Amino acid sequence: MTRYTSATNSDREEMLARIGVDSVDDLFSGIPEELRLGRPLDLPDGLSEAEVFDRLRQMSARNTDADSEVSFLGAGMYDHYVPAIVETIISRSEFLTPYTPYQPEVSQGGLQTMFEFQTAMSELTGLPVANAGLYEGPSTAAAAAYLAIGATGRKKLVATRGVHPHTREVLETYSAGYGSEVVEVDLEDGVTQAAALAEAVDDDTAAVFLQQPNFLGSVEDIEALTEVSKAHGALVVVACDPMALSILKPPGQCGADIAFGEGQPLGNRLDYGGPSFGFFGAAEEHLRRMPGRIAGQTTDVDGRRGFVLTLQTREQHIRREKATHNICTAQALNSLAGMIHLAWLGKRGFVELGELLVRRTAYARSKLAEVPGVSLVSDAPVVREFALSLDAPIGEVLDLCAAEGVAAGYRLDREYPEIENGLLVAITERRSVGDIDKLAELLGRAVSVGSEAPREKEAVS
């Protein structure tokens, strides 16, 4: 039976009468008896607000965050410095509280921020049109796939294993609804080979998905891979790290039809993995198929500059069969944070940050490769991330480093079992040369201990 604490017997009887049943047990008659608990829930007495606060504070103190340790984690989410001006501006009520501009004519400020964001993403990707943002990177890839299927009339999607594993998983999931298939192309020496890609692409291929730099941090030859893909008329979709676009040739200039990415590195902290935002740019012929919304600039009857919601292609606004996306809102606040961060850096500062990442990553790569028992997975150029292979169990190595307050990197064995004891190391401007030296020293000790452990066990047996 159920224990009641908030309703009197007469209240309960009235409620049961209203819904037409004789007892509370009748409400659960559809649940087999063997699946029912058969007794009251064993719940402790409630706590006061102050006691709940203390309990939650004690629980949260067990967590470790990027500000309390030296973090070399990356794999799509990065510990960049977010300037104070970002939170100051996005916390203003004009930006923090609006949901979406259903009355665009009175949402000039919100529309302008969208327009400025689109302009920045267009410049970064080298593509003429960009939308006002999507939820996050992986689901943006699914939107790109839908666009390609509609534009080409084909179903097959090809993705290299250099594309983020989460993105490939999302493509697999959505392909079931699209009636398409996803074919993966293996990497060789940490990069995609044009010959291997050519074997996978055919006249049924709607789109080829690449990533720059790829998930292992290696810089791909996007122009060569694009040429191979377009030989069969497939669209080329490139996932981008926005920070790397500060120094790398933009995908639009390499022949890509669509570019997208995860925007978290721009102005968004590592808040339990989100929220963040996705960005999306495309060639102009795909404008009408783009997902989400696009803000435009115009002039009013008096010749003054104004902004309008030019396109919004979700099913709530147009006929369902004409819709290109089911997005119900935009991550406008998060994309505004990214735009503020870019404006704070400025064009020159953005490039200087990219150059800093390259120099510091080169130092880290060289330093860690000198550690006995540590080797590079690829000799390809990198920007701010690189993969290592260790001569010791990766789990033990990470635990030993964590005990010293260092998150050494992202373990690769789940997604890339072919890389023995693989570790992905990411560098941001927050990682100093001293931090890198500490990681090298810890990896040396951890690998030494981890590699000796199996021999000790064998000797005992």
Q: Using one digit for the tens of pLDDT, what is the confidence trace for 267-283?
A: 999 887 778 999 999 99
- If asked whether residues 39 and 90 sit together in one domain, one would say no
Q: Using one digit for the tens of pLDDT, what is the confidence trace for 168-188?
A: 999 999 999 889 999 999 999
- If asked whether residues 338 and 419 sit together in one domain, one would say no
Average pLDDT over every residue of 233-261: 97
Does residue 104 form part of some domain? yes
- If asked whether residues 223 and 362 sit together in one domain, one would say no
Does residue 369 form part of some domain? yes
Does residue 425 form part of some domain? yes
Tokens 């990065």, residue located: 78
Domain containing 309 — which CATH number?
Answer: 3.40.640.10
- If asked whether residues 419 and 293 sit together in one domain, one would say no
292: pLDDT confidence band, cut at 50, 70 and 90?
A: confident
- If asked whether residues 145 and 239 sit together in one domain, one would say yes
Q: Using one digit for the tens of pLDDT, what is the confidence trace for 90-117?
A: 999 888 887 766 666 778 888 899 999 9
Buried b (16+ CB within 10 A) or exposed e, 192-201: bbeeebbebb
Does residue 298 form part of some domain? yes
Q: Using one digit for the tens of pLDDT, what is the confidence trace for 371-391?
A: 999 999 999 999 999 999 999
Paired tokens of 234: 């497939």
- If asked whether residues 238 and 173 sit together in one domain, one would say yes
Q: Where are the beta strands (DSSP E) in 286-381?
A: 293-299, 305-312, 374-376
Instruction: Give, in order, the Cα–Cα distances in Å from 378 to each of 23, 34, 77, 193.
Output: 69, 57, 22, 13
Domain boundary among the residues 314, 342, 370 is at: 342
Q: What are phi and psi of 185, to 5 degrees?
A: -115, 125
- If asked whether residues 240 and 386 sit together in one domain, one would say no
457: pLDDT confidence band, cut at 50, 70 and 90?
A: very low
- If asked whether residues 364 and 332 sit together in one domain, one would say no
- CB count in 10 Å sphere of residue 121: 30
Q: In angstroms, rounded to a whole number, what is the distance separating the alpha carbons of residues 358 and 381?
A: 10
SS3 state of residue 312: strand
159: pLDDT confidence band, cut at 50, 70 and 90?
A: very high
Paired tokens of 211: 């990533």
- If asked whether residues 320 and 172 sit together in one domain, one would say yes
Q: In angstroms, rounded to a whole number, what is the distance separating the alpha carbons of residues 453 and 98?
A: 57
- CB count in 10 Å sphere of residue 378: 19
Domain containing 388 — which CATH number?
Answer: 3.90.1150.10
Global confidence as pTM: 0.86
Q: In angstroms, rounded to a whole number, what is the distance separating the alpha carbons of residues 403 and 314?
A: 49
What total number of domains does the chain contain? 3
- If asked whether residues 178 and 295 sit together in one domain, one would say yes
Does residue 67 form part of some domain? no
- If asked whether residues 243 and 359 sit together in one domain, one would say no
Helical H runs in 34-96? Answer: 49-60, 84-90, 93-96
Does residue 95 form part of some domain? yes
Read out DSSP for 251-286? GGGGT-SEEEEE-TTTT---STT----EEEEE-GGG
Q: What pLDDT is stored for residue 252 in this prediction?
A: 97
Does residue 382 form part of some domain? yes
Q: What are phi and psi of 416, to 5 degrees?
A: -130, 70
Asked whether 265 and 241 are in contact (CB, 8 A), the reply is: yes
Domain boundary among the residues 342, 361, 395 is at: 342
Q: What is the mean pLDDT of the chain?
A: 90
Q: Using one digit for the tens of pLDDT, what is the confidence trace for 316-326?
A: 556 666 666 66
Q: In angstroms, rounded to a whole number, what is the distance separating the alpha carbons of residues 209 and 138?
A: 12
Domain range for 38 is 9-60
- If asked whether residues 337 and 391 sit together in one domain, one would say no
Does residue 66 form part of some domain? no
Domain boundary among the residues 297, 317, 342 is at: 342
Pick from 376, 401, 400, 374: nearest CA to 386: 376
